[in-house]
Chain A
Amino acid sequence: MSAVKKSASSLAPTAGPLGRLWHAIWADWDLMQLAISVLLVVAIGFAPLVIRSPYYLGILILAVLYAYVGISWNIVAGFAGQLLIAHIIFIALGAYTTVVLYTRFDVMPWIGIPASGVVAAGLGLVIALITLRYGLKADYFALFTIALMVALKTLFLKWEFVGAAVGMGLRLNEPSWEKMIFSTKEPYLYIGLALLLAGILVQFWIYRSKLGKYFLALREDEAAAAALGVNTSLYKTLALLIGSAMGGIGGGYYMMYVTFVEPPQVFDLGLNVELVLAAPIIGGLGSLLGPVLGALINKPLAELIRGTLTAGRSGTTLIVYGAFLVISILFMPRGITGLIQDGYQRLKRRRAPERDEEVRRGNA
């Protein structure tokens, strides 16, 4: 509250550049979400100063990955409203692409990870074309992606070139930046944070541009969108391409961090829920802040449940975890971000309304 009052009085023409920046952000909920996201990234960047335990750093690294992957799914499902349930297939394909390139072709991950994005986008394109060709509606589209996951799992289990049922691992020799192999956790954290920051900025840019508004129009009402000149097939395809490319890149990074991949591990609905769906849903699907906030709560929570409550019995973990998800969907349909937004708007309304008007005009 006190911060708010102070800034309200600093709206005088003499307000410094920082004051003006704060006002621009305060007046605009999208910018607020961007600012909070970036601050969280910076805060996590300083975390190694206090968190020394590799175990806790490991949780943080995965939370960062979940946030990034959550963003990639948020763009497809939250913005464009496409029920791409088994998004994990792109992460899986990305992980396999990176490890195959690395072990079979000596391609370094700095190239392998972007290549994973391209390969995953290829699958995204195929899915989009099939969906459009057969006019799959939302629920059938969701089922189709799950069926595809099962089919890919079977394929990868049989496919010798990618290690079949044994899976594939990185040859762990000398740590080196070139090979993105490190003996400590910190470098993984910073690479993950760079990825997350890029994801946050891409998501923000999309949300504010024509592309993002067309995605939202698709989600809200396809027929109305078409009537207003939105090529619905094209924009559905674009949403899928962006989401799958980002997912594939996340998968490549995931591979470098976990160093091993096998079909039952990655083509798995349980991992899909934890790694892809949970963060945006808990945080607020379709919002800008949701995936980041959700991941920072989801990952430590999943770990806590796994570690303490159920002492490693995986079935119980899923039940407790699933119950938490269901409860958060029922009681926070707009996620944590929704709660924060309500608070933000209440605060904003308490300030002089004409001032707000001025600020908005000034920044329009």
Chain B
Amino acid sequence: MLEVQGIVKQFGGLTAVNDFSLSLDRGDIVGLIGPNGAGKTTAFNVIAGFYRPNAGRVHFGGRDITGLRPDQICKLGLARTFQVVRPFGALSVLENVMIGAYARTNDKATAKAKAEEALEALGMTDLAERAARDLPIAGRKRLEIARALATEPQLLLLDETMAGLRSAETDEVIEMVRKLSQRGIAILLVEHVMKVVMSLAQRIVVLHHGEKIAEGQPSEIVRDRQVIDAYLGEVESDAAR
């Protein structure tokens, strides 16, 4: 479904993503991990059309989407959330999600019903009438997912949507992501919380300095020497703090 082939993204002299490849199928849940600054968000931005890669191609649903605009890619069924949340602050939570739903319809009633469905899935029904700017950070993270979901994606890119959530909230979102994948939606997930990645992902890809240093099942990844040196050691010391 998603076929990323050797993408390179440079900012001036800095190569943020270097020759990165990845493939995903329907219903897959793939975790993308790596230390801060590894290039995870940049890779998302290239895939979702926010950055044009210096080299490489991105195929989605059998189509070459390299160079398409973000809104075109969204319409093709690829939605992403933002690591640094970007709510439409002055609008209500419901209106925020309706804007996602409008990607598939021009009709207000239909968009509203779709948006309510998405809010329901995220357990946000009670918050629908609140202004998005009044939500606490956990609410904003969920709003990111709800909006993306309302665009009816086949592939969802989640960029640290569980950072800053309490443990119970994290469990709810994990459950929700699992349900989505059972519906056939593929999920690419960036997450520093190892518990989340380990319990959700069937496959993990590790980025380091913009390059893929490992890929495999969670049980293989945790034993990978290179990964432990580059990343997992750091996570453990983070946890020890």
Contacts and interface: CB of A to CB of B under 8 A. Distances in A.
Interface of A: 208-210, 213-214, 216-217, 220-221, 223-232, 286, 364
B74 A213 contact: no
B74 A229 contact: yes
A213 B79 CA distance: 19
A209 B150 CA distance: 17
Interface stretch (B8-16, B92-100, B213-221): B92-100
- Please provide the 4 A-B residue pairs with the shortest distance between their CB atoms, ordered closest to farther: A229-B103, A220-B88, A224-B86, A229-B74
Contacts of B79: 227-228
Nearest to B147: A228
Interface string B19-42: 000000000000000000000000
Given A210-B108, A231-B69, A216 B88 contact: yes
Interface residues of B, number: 31
A228 B151 contact: yes
Interface in B50-96: 50, 69-72, 74-75, 79-80, 82, 86-91, 95
Contacts of A230: 71, 99
A209 B151 CA distance: 17
Interface of B: 48, 50, 69-72, 74-75, 79-80, 82, 86-91, 95, 98-100, 102-103, 106, 108, 111-112, 147-148, 150-151
Contacts of A231: 69, 71-72
A122 to B, nearest CB: 26
Nearest to A357: B129
Contacts, number: 79
Contacts of A223: 50, 70, 82, 86
With most chain A CB atoms within 10 A of its CB, the pick from B71, B74, B82, B111 is B71
B102 A227 contact: no
A220 B82 contact: no
A306 to B, nearest CB: 35
A357 to B, nearest CB: 10
13 contacts: A210-B102, A213-B102, A216-B95, A220-B87, A221-B88, A223-B70, A223-B82, A224-B86, A224-B88, A227-B79, A229-B71, A229-B74, A230-B71
